[in-house]
């Protein structure tokens, strides 16, 4: 099991029940209003829910706190954390959410290029490493676990290779430091991927565009 999975499960429980139950409900409405509702019998349902929970926990400020759940939990609890807990939850606040390209695969280790900075990074995560191929372009979140070493957060959006030119052109329009701009672009790209899955007979160039034909 990914060593951060227990932390993520704790965060999910903390921010989906009690005082945050209504917050999660409103977040789902907000998110799926834009991306389109995914039915439970959809083959990508679990993955899309993982993507949503990543957005909710890491990106979306809570209405009553103006901090994401991950950052709020760390701020509230860091004084009472063990050294190990502090290290893990601190790393979660530094998670990178972006578009990545697979450059190389060696066993459980992937060499990726992050699209915004063009930085190369090493990801070692046996849960997912065999689901990738060289040249894949996808949205994901990675947690820093050492010097230039990372592991994945569950939830991936793989984009068709015909969309790469469009994605690259849009990434170049945003400043890599501007996380809000980046997150908005990633949401739009995810919506395009969902539309591509629903309408596979439509050319990718008619979906990955700023001027959609339908």
Topology of 96-206 in CATH?
A: OB fold (Dihydrolipoamide Acetyltransferase, E2P) (2.40.50)
Closest CA to 11 of 60, 66, 57: 57
pLDDT of residue 124: 86
Closest CA to 188 of 70, 99, 75: 99
Neighbours of 210 (CB within 10 A): 8
Q: Which residues of the chain have pLDDT under 50?
A: 1
The two three-digit tokens of residue 121, written as one number:
């990074």
pTM as predicted = 0.90
Distance CA 146, CA 20 (A): 32
Q: Would you list the domain boundaries of the chain?
A: 5-92, 96-206
* Percent composition of the chain: helix, strand, coil (DSSP 3-state, to 5): 50, 20, 30
pLDDT of residue 82: 96
Closest CA to 141 of 208, 207, 55: 55
Distance CA 97, CA 116 (A): 10
pLDDT of residue 177: 65
What is the sign, positive or negative, of the torsion defined by CA atoms of 67, 188, 167, 134? positive
Residue 76, CB half-sphere, CA atoms under 13 Å: how many?
10
pLDDT of residue 176: 62
pLDDT of residue 17: 93
């Amino acid at each position: 099991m990914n060593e951060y999975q227990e932390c993520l499960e704790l965060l999910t429980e903390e921010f989906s029940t009690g005082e945050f139950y209504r917050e999660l409900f409103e977040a789902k409405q907000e998110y799926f209003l834009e991306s389109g509702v995914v039915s439970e019998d959809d083959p990508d349902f679990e993955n899309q829910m993982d993507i949503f929970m990543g957005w909710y926990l890491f990106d979306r400020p809570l209405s009553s706190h103006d901090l994401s759940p991950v950052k709020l939990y760390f701020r509230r609890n860091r004084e009472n954390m063990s050294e190990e807990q502090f290290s893990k939850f601190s790393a979660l606040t530094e998670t990178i959410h972006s578009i990545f390209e697979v450059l190389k695969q060696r066993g459980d280790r992937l060499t990726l290029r992050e699209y915004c900075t063009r930085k190369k990074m090493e990801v070692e995560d046996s849960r997912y490493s065999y689901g990738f191929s060289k040249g894949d372009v996808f949205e994901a979140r990675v947690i820093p676990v050492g010097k230039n070493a990372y592991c994945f957060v569950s939830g991936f959006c793989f984009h068709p290779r015909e969309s790469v030119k469009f994605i690259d052109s849009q990434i170049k329009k945003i400043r890599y430091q501007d996380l809000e701009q980046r997150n908005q672009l990633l949401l739009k790209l995810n919506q395009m991927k969902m539309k591509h899955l629903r309408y596979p007979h439509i050319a990718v160039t008619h979906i990955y565009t700023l001027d959609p034909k339908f």
